[in-house]
Structure 1
Amino acid sequence: MKKLWTLCAALLSVVSVASAQSTMSCCTKSAAGQAATEVFAMLASNEDFSGGHDAPLPFTYAGEGSMIEFKTADGQMGKAFEIKSKTKSDKYLFVIHEWWGLNDYIKQEAGRFAEELPGVNVIALDLYDGQVATDADMAGKLMQGVKTERAQAIINGALTYAGPKAQISSIGWCFGGGWSIQTALLAGSKAKACVAYYGMPEKDVAKLKTLNTDVLFVFAKQDKWINQEVVDQFSKDMATAKKGLMVKTYDADHAFANPSNPKYSKDMATDAHAASVAYLKKSLKLK
């Protein structure tokens, strides 16, 4: 999830698809001290970006799992939805929501992974501190309102909750795709796998050198935001950092894996999900 703060003003002024694409493709160098995830969040100001996300239909998840709370270093409490493994395990999958927040669709995804990855504890993090968007305007405000320090505190709190022997994998989409990469960075030696769907990559090579895992990056060729230039730069940066990167490319648009999005492609979403599960199983050494 990383675009550069030097061009944030340009992002805010984008008024068309063409200009938005040009702005995003220019963002190849991050400004010192600025978080990639915050730069990506600025896209919420772009009408073409926000307009491409249909509000989720009403849905209630009725499967396994429960909400949990854990302490965070900033003196607050973090929230997440947890589905514990049926057998005692130190293996975890952190699921990170897209810009709508931790809604029941994300809980359903967590349940799906819990079924497909037996022996893994699944924790869907809440980076919105209990707020869930029901329309694009609210989603944009919530995404832009996420402070890097607070999100990191939530992730670190979840890492502490998982325990010192935890083996951490992560997956996320869009907003959550970038934060999946950040989770792997924060997990340090505990990180075992990282999947990022069309999220902003980390652009600080020094940080990428600290990754303890490779990355599976799901790329949509028609994405105007996380475009070919962004992916090419990430590939170059990961090579410089001497880290493994697998790019799974689809001739689809941003958010193609989201059933509530008009760009949804069932066949490609199914294929990407299967690839993600296979990668996670291999990385976590599941039978």
Structure 2
Amino acid sequence: MSKILKNDIPQEAFDWYDEYAHGAIDRRTFIKKLTSLVAVGYSMSVLTSALLPNYALAEQVSFNDEDIKASYANFDSPMGHGKGQGYLVTPTNKSGKLPVVLVIHENRGLNPYIKDVARRLAKAGFIAFAPDVLFPLGGYPGNDDEGRAMQKSMDKDKVQHDFVAAAEFLKSHKSSNGKLGAVGFCFGGYIVNYLAAVSSDLITAGVPFYGTPAVAELRNNIKAPMLIQLAELDTRVNNTWPDYEKDLVRLQVPYQMFMYKNANHGFHNDSTSRYDKENAELAWSRTLSFFNEKLI
């Protein structure tokens, strides 16, 4: 299947999808809005194919790649849901203590795109661990709509504790050098910001992609260097940045923010037409450089 380019889709369709994906409108309203575009010449099948993920497009590193080993690992989460599970990927061509990176999914569970991001990190020499917040409910169901509904039903405080437990599990991995990075996307970007804020010594470096900040009362704890990745067309998240930046400046937290021109929320996700290859590759190269600088 060929990839539909974002230039083939009107911007309002991306905006409506963002509202739908984050619970501002329901599926019926989303489809109704798309129908208004059909009336002016767009094909509904093209619109839905472009906006909804096709995970066959997202594999950049095969799980059979000889440079990595992928498996699953369980961890204890006594303040969360008791037990958690994630996708653990280790380099096979490196030895000794290695830097570790927590990979945090969007608001729909551990989908194939996020697993591929973990493999990309392992290919680059990091031990990567991608928890599935839906594990207590049976795991990612293979369908984003169902996964989103499942995740929405979960207790937010327990979910956050699960990610803290996952971070502690990975940081203490037998092959960890003790330096923990965190990268996340959308909801996962929020969790990166939360991990940096909930404890000043939990993560060593954070890279939130289009994630909202932690609540203001937690931000005084932030010490870890942050690489903030934002999309120019992502008004919802970008509106939270000025207030967050004021706190980072006040606290003298080392940070860089990059705003990617003409990019939509989700521009790094190569399974939909929101994907922006040039900006995604630039953002990812910056992510790897940042982790290489801060974690090794």
Q: Same fold (TM over 0.5)?
A: yes
Please show how residues 142-153 of structure 1 align to structure 2 within 5 Å. Answer: 142-153=150-161
SS at 1:167 equivalent: strand
TM-score (norm 2): 0.73
User: Which of the pair has more CA radius of gyration?
Assistant: 2
Structure 2 match to 1:14: none
In the alignment, is residue 181 of structure 1 matched against residue 193 of structure 2? yes
Alignment partners' CA distance in 2, 1:218 and 1:281: 17
For residue 149 of structure 2, the aligned residue among 141, 162, 167 is: 141
Structure 2 match to 1:257: 268
Conservation of the 8 A alpha-carbon contact between 2:199 and 2:221: no
Conservation of the 8 A alpha-carbon contact between 2:208 and 2:227: yes
Conservation of the 8 A alpha-carbon contact between 1:209 and 1:243: no
Task: Write the deviation string for residues 139-167 of structure 1: whole angstroms up to 9, x where unpaired.
Answer: 43134223222223322322342329732
In structure 2, relative to structure 1, the CA distance for the partners of 1:266 and 1:62 (3 Å cut) is same
Structure 1 match to 2:73: 68
Alignment partners' CA distance in 2, 1:182 and 1:53: 28
TM-score (norm 1): 0.75
Name the stretch that deviates more: 71-80 or 274-283: 71-80
For residue 99 of structure 2, the aligned residue among 91, 98, 107 is: 91
Conservation of the 8 A alpha-carbon contact between 1:41 and 1:144: no
Q: CA deviation at 1:246?
A: 1.1
Alignment partners' CA distance in 2, 1:255 and 1:133: 21
Structure 2 match to 1:224: 235
Please show how residues 152-167 of structure 1 align to structure 2 within 5 Å. Answer: 152-161=160-169, 162-163=171-172, 166-167=178-179
Q: CA deviation at 1:42?
A: 4.4
Alignment partners' CA distance in 1, 2:230 and 2:195: 19
Structure 2 match to 1:108: 116
4+ long deviations beyond 6 Å: 49-52
**Which one-letter code corresponds to 1:121 in the other structure?**
I
Alignment partners' CA distance in 2, 1:70 and 1:94: 13
User: What is the RMSD of the two structures over their aligned residues, measured on CA atoms?
Assistant: 3.1
Q: CA deviation at 1:53?
A: 4.5
Alignment partners' CA distance in 2, 1:270 and 1:198: 15
SS at 1:140 equivalent: helix
Structure 2 match to 1:243: 253
SS at 1:179 equivalent: helix
Alignment partners' CA distance in 1, 2:25 and 2:100: 30
In the alignment, is residue 267 of structure 1 matched against residue 268 of structure 2? no
Structure 1 match to 2:41: none
Conservation of the 8 A alpha-carbon contact between 1:100 and 1:133: no
Alignment partners' CA distance in 1, 2:198 and 2:224: 12
Alignment partners' CA distance in 1, 2:268 and 2:25: 19
In structure 2, relative to structure 1, the CA distance for the partners of 1:258 and 1:249 (3 Å cut) is same
In structure 2, relative to structure 1, the CA distance for the partners of 1:88 and 1:145 (3 Å cut) is farther
Conservation of the 8 A alpha-carbon contact between 1:185 and 1:208: yes
Higher relative contact order (CA 8 A, sep 6+): 1
**Which one-letter code corresponds to 1:111 in the other structure?**
R
Structure 1 match to 2:130: 124
In structure 2, relative to structure 1, the CA distance for the partners of 1:247 and 1:239 (3 Å cut) is same
**Which one-letter code corresponds to 1:184 in the other structure?**
A
Q: How many residues align?
A: 247
Task: Write the deviation string for residues 66-102 of structure 1: whole angstroms up to 9, x where unpaired.
Answer: 0111111146211111123542326310000113321
In structure 2, relative to structure 1, the CA distance for the partners of 1:65 and 1:187 (3 Å cut) is farther
Alignment partners' CA distance in 2, 1:170 and 1:152: 14
SS at 1:242 equivalent: coil
